Amino acid sequence: MSLPDPETQLTHLDVGADGESRRIAMRVLPAASDNGLPTLVWLGGYRSDMAGTKAVELERHAHATGAACIRFDYSGHGVSGGAFADGTISRWLEESLAVIDHVAPKRMVLVGSSMGGWVALRLIAELRARGEGGRIAGLVLIAPAPDFTSELIEPNLTDAERTSLAERGYFEEPTPYGPDPNIFTARLLDDGRRNRVLDGLIETGCPVHILQGMQDPDVPYKHSLKLMEHLPSDDVVMTLIRDGDHRLSRPEDIERILAAVTAMSGG
């Protein structure tokens, strides 16, 4: 269920050239003052958008504390342009980098939900490769799904789904989160293998807090435990929520998420 958006202006950023160009929609809340608080950056999940409960509550929290906040929709999501079927981790990562480069916050706390957790980890790797890892003040991951294409989808493909991938280039899967089925393309799966992060140690250079529901039907909590094994830093905290589902959008879940964000923000 979506909540009314706070009073932030909808703006747009064009990403990509020629046939790859797509218009990315974003809402940027400026900081109340030069208070030194890191900017909160929302990275949504697969087929979610910036008008979802957690994203809106994050901006409300930023407004209440005086921090800046960035929300945006990947291409093919929400009110951004582009076709969803063209989406890949590389494509959505490119858009995330473009938004951050455009807004240019000095310091950030990345808040990644589900697939957004994967994008966040890749985003940090790209920033560190550019010598900008120090801009990341912290990382909050909500039911993170790094490598979900190769770890959670491909091992469980049915014969019918494999046939559909080979013949049609995609397969469909019913979802309880809406009337339309999820669409997984061969392009997404192929690109997912090139963006794997669970093949070795993941260096973030910042504190990490993972929040994971133990009743999550989409991303088993053991997947978050596996992620934690790849994070070598001692400054990694995991909160397992015994009755939590995948969305973690209940008031008590939001409270836990915002507490983690506050701790990362230094106040």
DSSP per-residue codes, 187-211:
HHHHHHHHT--TTS----SS-EEEE
Mean pLDDT across 57-64: 97
> How much is the pLDDT for 7?
65
What band does 180 get if pLDDT is binned at 50, 70 and 90? confident
Q: In the predicted model, is pLDDT for residue 228 greater than 70?
A: yes
Q: In the predicted model, is pLDDT for residue 259 greater than 80?
A: yes
| Under 8 Å between Cβ of 108 and 41 | yes
Residue with tokens 């435990």: 225
Name the CATH superfamily housing domain 10-265. Answer: Alpha/Beta hydrolase fold, catalytic domain (3.40.50.1820)
- The separation between CA 33 and the C-alpha centre of its own chain, rounded to angstroms, equals 27
Residue with the larger pLDDT of the pair 1 and 34: 34
> Which CA distances in Å does 43 have to 40, 235, 249?
10, 21, 15
pLDDT in tens, 95-113: 999 999 999 999 999 999 9
> How much is the pLDDT for 155?
96
Mean pLDDT across 54-61: 97
245 Cβ contact partners less than 8 Å away, ≥ 6 residues apart: 213, 215, 216, 217
> How much is the pLDDT for 233?
76
3-state secondary structure of 185: strand
- What are the structure tokens assigned to 154, written together? 């491909």
The C-alpha angle 167, 173, 178, rounded to 5 degrees, equals 140
89 Cβ contact partners less than 8 Å away, ≥ 6 residues apart: 115, 118, 119, 122, 149, 188, 191, 192, 195
> How much is the pLDDT for 102?
98
Mean pLDDT across 130-159: 97
CA 103/CA 266 separation, integer angstroms: 22
Mean pLDDT across 135-141: 97
Q: In the predicted model, is pLDDT for residue 3 greater than 60?
A: no
What band does 234 get if pLDDT is binned at 50, 70 and 90? confident
Nearest to 116 by CA among 50, 173, 213, 60: 50
Neighbour count for residue 252 (Cβ, 10 Å): 11
